[in-house]
Amino acid sequence: MKVIVDDKIPYIRGHVERMAGEVIYLPGSEIGPEDVRDADALLVRTRTRCDRRLLENSRVRFIATATIGYDHLDTRYLDEAGIRWTNCPGCNAASVGQYVRNALFEAERAGLVRLAEATVGIIGCGHVGTAVGRALRPYVSRIVANDPLLAAHADFPLSDLETVRRECDIITLHTPLTTDGPHPTFHLIDREFLQSIGKRPLLINAARGGVVDECALREALDEGGIRQAVIDTWEGEPDIDRELLKRVFIGTPHIAGYSADGKANATRMTLEALARFVAADGEASATPDIRPTEAPDSRTGLRYSPSEDSERLKENPAGFEFQRGNYPLRRE
């Protein structure tokens, strides 16, 4: 069996080789039709668009993305072509929780919010939104959640979007990016939304870039409609809006979920999925022992500062992809 692997998936080398006769590591953005033509499986991240253009006339029958998000997978085509696919739901939820919590600590030190008095609105309350809420709960006054796919939530009261717009001092986004269905999220935060908010909130996007209309966000920042913004996910990555980057309080290169712990979880889940595909009886082999190395104290737990990552990106926005692919070690 031949497997193509994104060479930026951490901790994976040596493990795939136990299941496949041939393993080739390539930069995710450079994986092309010729590379996959005689491959049986792909292990990718968000930089590989898995669609008809890439996969038609190949022998690929399995794709695992070592990420929560899967908008880079054309799932309709994959299903039609009989190609099994899987993602890693919840793998980096705690990492995003750490990022949002610590970014808000910095916002409080800068005088932008008073957490003990703040109402936080979480839009999208799946694995990640729930982890964010749990990370924030000891520090804020109130949490409300909006998720039209949920009838109830065990941790937080569910509210409509209008309540979030009207009552929240902080709004944090944790939805997938969808363009169809009953609840599309593309440009969910648009000009109309931003012009009708009640309390000049601080806006956080650690979901997907297209969930926010960045032109409208830039206008809202310039006109004072919102207090400030923390942006980790951007439209058009890696070619991001540099004017918006200059304007936001914290802007980072899509690394909110990039703790070593979250990466290890994703790699483990990816390997387990590959093992199930390989095994004739559908049973996975033993869980691989993946242990992240220790990070410096300054990049661990409550001490991690998203502003350090923001400063690097603001100094060199053209280095977005390099900074993401060579992210300094961080532990939860």
Q: For domain 2-87+260-278, which architecture applies? A: 3-Layer(aba) Sandwich (3.40)
Tell me what pLDDT residue 154 has.
Answer: 94
**Which CA distances in Å does 133 have to 83, 118, 228, 277?**
35, 13, 20, 35
What's the CA gap between 306 and 2, in Å, rounded?
39
Tell me what pLDDT residue 69 has.
Answer: 87
Q: Which residues contact 223 (CB under 8 A, 6 or more apart)?
A: none
Tell me what pLDDT residue 226 has.
Answer: 96
Q: Which of 332, 31, 316 is nearest to 324 (CA)?
A: 316
Whole-model pTM: value is 0.89
Tens digit of pLDDT for each residue in 267-290? 999 999 999 999 864 555 666 788
Tens digit of pLDDT for each residue in 151-160? 999 999 999 9
Tens digit of pLDDT for each residue in 167-201? 999 999 999 999 989 999 999 999 999 999 989 99
Quick one: pLDDT band at residue 118, thresholds 50, 70, 90?
very high
Quick one: pLDDT band at residue 291, thresholds 50, 70, 90?
confident
Tell me what pLDDT residue 115 has.
Answer: 98
Tens digit of pLDDT for each residue in 211-260? 999 999 999 999 999 999 999 999 999 999 999 999 999 999 999 999 99
Give the CA dihedral 269, 273, 274, 277, nearest 10 degrees: 170
- CATH 3.40.50.720 in the chain: give the residue spans: 2-87+260-278, 93-251
Average of per-residue pLDDT across 74-103: 97
Question: Which residues are catalytic, by number?
Answer: 208, 237, 254
Fold classification of 93-251 is Rossmann fold (3.40.50)
Q: 302, exposed or middle or buried, with CB in 10 Å at 0-12, 13-18, 19+? A: exposed
Strands 2-6 and 22-26: parallel
Residue 31 has phi, psi (to 5 degrees) of: -70, 120
Q: In this predicted structure, which of 9-23, 234-248, 269-283, 305-319 has the lowest mean pLDDT? A: 269-283
CB 245 within 8 A of CB 313: yes
